[in-house]
Structure 1
């Protein structure tokens, strides 16, 4: 294993949204994964992610009756949005459609995060929607021309929401897939051995381009040609991940660790959690 460079040990900034009646595991699953991740699996001082919780008020009651405390308000989150590399949005079956109709937070925050990437494609940002949170993305028109998944009970609702957004904006259709998680705008491949590779590519498979440290906030070495190409991509090349049911948020988060930190780190997190990582799919991968 190569030495970990000091610039790669800086924590990646993550913002996690919270809302009333959200699913606790949608929130706790990714949190468990990200808090275990380290740039150097042998050095606990190299934690890979720094996580901030945002909510409409200080305390949020989950669907399971657990009260959680936020670090910042959504108002402050909007002001500080440029600080974050990753936005994680939990779902919640009982209230998600009402939130969509009301266009309540975190829907505006999601849209602002996507707009930041479109305006600044040189920075690597990731949006992870867990469970039914994919409906939030669909309503905001962020899944047009992409592929996505959601909780199996909400496939039809997701398709209808995507169709409505496409009709409203004269946009492209969304490919709703029955997968554990779906990743759009990936930018690397970990090799051709499918037994060892954590990704299953559906289309546009590229040659091996092994990841060498995190690119979050450190993309000044990208060529002008590549930046122009990325700017022309959907959402400025922002990595968009949607996951199926609550537990699949853990799988998607392990993918995120492998993408932004290392495959080794993701495997170590799965080992520590005693979790059997179920792989999803990656579509439209491009070379860095």
Structure 2
């Protein structure tokens, strides 16, 4: 369900946000959205989101440049979520061929209110078949890879993020913060997202196409 600034929604229980992490994940790809959802409502309370990280197992992962992170839970034990975040990084080139993970992504996405990919996390959505026939974006160095993974996807080159309603895809790395704030606005209203950005002292790019867009599709 989408909301506007005029119709903010405050659920009786916090929405459950799951952020996937894996070896060679880009740090800001997962840490940026984790921070956005984690600090939303911090000054006004109660917290509207409950955020956790999900790994392929509960073993620590080594993110980009060797940062070690221990997941909150694993894909085998994770319950359904309201918001699913799929970050990118070099590890996506390996995990996009992980059939078990792709099955989990499909299952979680079906039940989620919103799905967000950051950077090359779009490759995971593409390989899961969730971007077929949709507009999408990713890190600019991965446009060709996304086209190969999902030939029917219309790639918006230069878009900061792309909103398909249920699925939001963002450009590279820092764009995931903008897209996360956009998801906050969709779920809780624009004013809440603005307050969150101000708390983070972040200059939020509220327009999807901050840069010039050109589309690429095999359709």
Query: What is the alpha-carbon root mean square deviation over aligned residues?
Result: 2.3
Pair 1:19-2:22 in alignment: yes
The 1-side partners of 2:137 and 2:32 are apart by 17
The count of residues paired between Structure 1 and Structure 2 equals: 203
Pair 1:160-2:148 in alignment: yes
The 1-side partners of 2:19 and 2:155 are apart by 24
Aligned to 1:205: none
Asked if the contact 2:137–2:162 (Cα under 8 Å) also holds between the matched residues in 1, the reply is yes
Q: 2:150 is paired with a residue of what secondary structure?
A: helix
Aligned to 2:116: 128
TM-score, normalised relative to structure 2: 0.85
Bigger Rg over Cα = 1
Pair 1:111-2:106 in alignment: yes
CA change 1:184–1:144 in 2 (3 A) is: same
Equivalent residues in 2 for 1:138-287, closer than 5 Å: 138-163=126-151, 173-178=152-157, 179-185=159-165, 239-281=166-208
Q: 2:176 is paired with a residue of what secondary structure?
A: helix
Pair 1:100-2:96 in alignment: yes
Q: 2:76 is paired with a residue of what secondary structure?
A: helix
Structure 1 residue 72, shift from structure 2 partner: 1.0
Structure 1: which 5+ runs fail to align?
A: 118-123, 164-172, 186-238, 283-288
Aligned to 2:37: 34
Structure 2: which 5+ runs fail to align?
A: 210-219
TM-score, normalised relative to structure 1: 0.65
Equivalent residues in 2 for 1:64-103, closer than 5 Å: 64-77=65-78, 80-81=79-80, 84-92=81-89, 94-103=90-99
